[in-house]
Amino acid sequence: MSRAPLVLLLALLALLLIPAPLLPPMGLADSVQSALGIGYKAAYLACANALQITLYGCLGLAVAFSIGPGSTSRSRLARLLAVPVALALLALAIRSVKLGHVPMLANALIPMAACVAGAAAGLAFRQHGWRPVAVSLVVLSGGLLWSFFPGVPSGLRDATQVRLQRMIEAGPGLPAGGDPASGDERFGALLRTALSSTDAAGGAGGQVERHRAALVALGVALGHERLARLAGLDENGPLIAQAAALRAGTTVRGREDWARHYTLSAALAVVQSPFASDAGGLIKEELDALTRGTGFSFGDLAADRAGVRFARAATASEASARALRDRLAAGFVLDDFFPQIEGLSENLTPEQFRRDFGGVGSPRYREALADIEARLDRCPGLTARR
């Protein structure tokens, strides 16, 4: 078997194996943050972009070397144009299947551009032989292994574990749930328990770092156990099972699914860049399962956005983190952290959605999003401070 088909087969396998979204090891982001003295989210975004450029660029280079250069200048130019575009479109198609939706152009631009650049470089410099292909495949293989086994800062792991244990211990004294008022009180009590820092076990670092761990813990307990992996914890271990048991009866506006949307979105916002809308792809199937058979819900969207804003208020700065801590210490008022949802369309079938809103991105859809953002603006607990 010639080397070219083998390289193409390996490239296709790599496209199928590359996680969507492709997330950098959290330990790497932590190191970059310390080395450059920048915020964690900026460091994470830089690492995510570098990982995508490296892996997709190497993929493009390897594929280009497996394609014949062409016998004429016209055929070489055609391949130089066609191969990168074809590879980028294939990568986009596979990524869309994995995510369950077509990613926004802003999120797909970097991997597509990296594929194009790598393929163009490979076609332009074929005279250097197969050595660049071998190097690219080694880098690609190493990057894939790295992305599947992310490193986690020990401080985040330990602090998340402390907060999970704290919530479990508080469990017997929490409101039982079972009705909207009691379930909402239970949600507020868990938020206050997770984000409190009244004991020596609050975790190293400032208030922002303690809140990061608290939001991840809330995401694990009230959202989904799979988030435990982001904190370096065993999602099948007894600690996670006990924490997940707190989920029953915990509601927001009487809805258990909104409590899950809220905490999942908040947790993802603090461990990944909020600018990458595909970040939720890691657990998108769980969120979809919450609404399966019920149709599109602007209430779900409001819960997601409220969670992201809550995370921003909790971690935007030390001043913002302290302000949120003090607000929760004084008591939990749901209206401060979650908007009123009267009038938001719920349970829309695809036909109803197209009829009433005209599709995603239409003026009516944007008006509905603006209405949600305006409602969130009226929640003082979701306001970040610099």
Last residue of a domain, one of 148, 181, 206: 148
Does 106 share its domain with 179? no
Dihedral of the alpha carbons of 232, 235, 239, 245, in degrees to the nearest 10: 140
Determine the residue type at 2. S
Does 103 share its domain with 222? no
The rounded distance, in Å, linking the Cα atoms of 55 and 24 is 11
Does 247 share its domain with 318? yes
pLDDT in the model for residue 103: 61
What residues make up the domain containing 30?
A: 3-148
Does 256 share its domain with 112? no
Taking the CA atoms of 61, 67, 72 and 78 in sequence, report the sign of the dihedral they define: negative
Does 22 share its domain with 46? yes
pLDDT in the model for residue 144: 55
Does 237 share its domain with 301? yes
Contacts of 371 (CB under 8 A, 6+ apart): 344
Contacts of 278 (CB under 8 A, 6+ apart): 20, 21, 99, 103, 104, 107
pLDDT in the model for residue 37: 78
Does 137 share its domain with 160? no
Does 223 share its domain with 349? yes
pLDDT in the model for residue 6: 63
Does 23 share its domain with 166? no
pLDDT in the model for residue 147: 52
Contacts of 161 (CB under 8 A, 6+ apart): 231, 233, 239
Largest pairwise CA distance in the chain: 78
Q: Number of folded domains in the chain? A: 2
Does 174 share its domain with 225? yes
For each of the chain's 386 residues, which pLDDT tens digit applies?
A: 455 566 666 667 766 666 655 666 666 777 777 788 777 667 777 877 787 787 777 777 777 776 666 666 677 667 667 776 777 777 777 767 765 556 656 566 777 778 777 777 777 666 555 565 566 556 656 655 555 554 455 577 888 999 999 999 999 999 987 888 899 999 999 999 999 865 444 444 688 889 989 999 999 999 988 888 777 788 889 999 999 999 999 999 999 999 999 998 898 888 764 444 344 433 443 444 444 555 678 898 899 899 999 999 999 889 999 999 999 999 999 999 999 999 998 888 778 888 888 776 788 888 998 999 999 999 999 998 77
Give one DSSP letter per residue of 175-187, joined into a string.
Answer: ---SSHHHHHHHH
325 with 282: CB under 8 angstroms?
Answer: no
Last residue of a domain, one of 120, 148, 176: 148
Q: Which token pair is 179?
A: 């009705």
Q: Which token pair is 77?
A: 């130019």
Does 187 share its domain with 325? yes
Last residue of a domain, one of 148, 180, 205: 148
Does 102 share its domain with 159? no
Helix axes 105-124 and 131-148, enclosed angle (nearest 10): 150
DSSP secondary structure letter of residue 197:
-
321 with 214: CB under 8 angstroms?
Answer: no
